[in-house]
Amino acid sequence: MQKRRLGNSGIEVSAIGLGCMRMSFGDAPIGDHQEMVAFIRKAVERGVDFFDTAEVYGPYTNELLVGEALEPFKGQVVIATKFGWDPGSDNRPTPSKPNSKPGRIRQVAEESLRRLRVDAIDLFYQHRPDPEVPIEDVAGTVKELIAEGKVKHFGLSESSAEQIRRAHAVQPVAALQSEYSLWWRTIEAEILPTCEELGIGLVPFSPLGRGYLTGKVDETTTFTDNDIRSRNPRFTKEAILANRGVVDLLGEIANDKSGTPAQIALAWILAQKPWIVPIPGSRKLERLEENLGAGSIELTPNDLLRINDAMSEISVVGSRY
């Protein structure tokens, strides 16, 4: 497995990480707990050493799963988790309301340390910006946690270029997590240049377009009510048909490279910048191995030009949420 550095942070991880959310949260059927523990450990065996979770996934169950699975590899892997949601009246995070007040950040840090079974959180992201808390206060609180040895690195997720700069001025931001893929490239205008200027790594989630870019979704595909795609404008039958050109393009490149559409989509992301580390989610070993195979595919400048030229002629239908 190739390694990459997340900007200037000093964090060195496998070129492709693993998003763990759907192992216990997000849509049905979720994975069996012990099967997912074994799956995560198989990922480590295959060279993956960068894992992504969050307090709100479950809530709590995903951190517990990741903590149990990775406890034997303490010090050998990098675990990223997130704070930033209100605990609610029953002490369960409710993603409808952000909460990055200093006291809440500290509470999440202490609880995440216990659930993840670690001495320090490797990478602690603000899950989403909180309009009621200045980003300087958020960065300052994480700076204190770093000084106390409870957190190693500070991250942001889905933040604007201005928010990134303001936070970075207080506490260096190691990584920004954001959606980024061949069919959602909005961050290229301001976010990517800001990260490059400040030496911040990028960790794209949904690098396979929530599965669409694998080529395994078509207009006959149905989604259960608790699958986020059942409410996603890009997964209506009309949008799936309209966006077919994106998958057809990936398929053409994949045939030339003896790969799969998913591998080409990930290889494209890897080719953008050396400090980008995507975190596709998977729950099946064959999908994991397919994704990891993207690291062996080299897209030439002509390949990248061909992809960009073709994408410039395709208008992606449907907003991302």
Catalytic annotation, residues: 57
> Residue 275 corresponds to which amino acid?
W
- Helical pair 244-257 and 301-312, crossing angle rounded to 10 deg: 160
**Phi-psi label, residue 142: left if phi above 0, alpha if psi -120 to 50, beta otherwise:** alpha
Residue 107, beta-bridge partner list: none
The CA dihedral of 211, 213, 214, 218, to the nearest 10 degrees, is: 80
Which residues touch 122 (CB under 8 Å, ≥6 apart)? Answer: 11, 78, 79, 80, 152, 153
Which residues touch 153 (CB under 8 Å, ≥6 apart)? Answer: 9, 11, 122, 123, 124, 146, 174, 175
CB 262 within 8 A of CB 289: no
Distance of CA 186 to the CA centre of its chain: 16
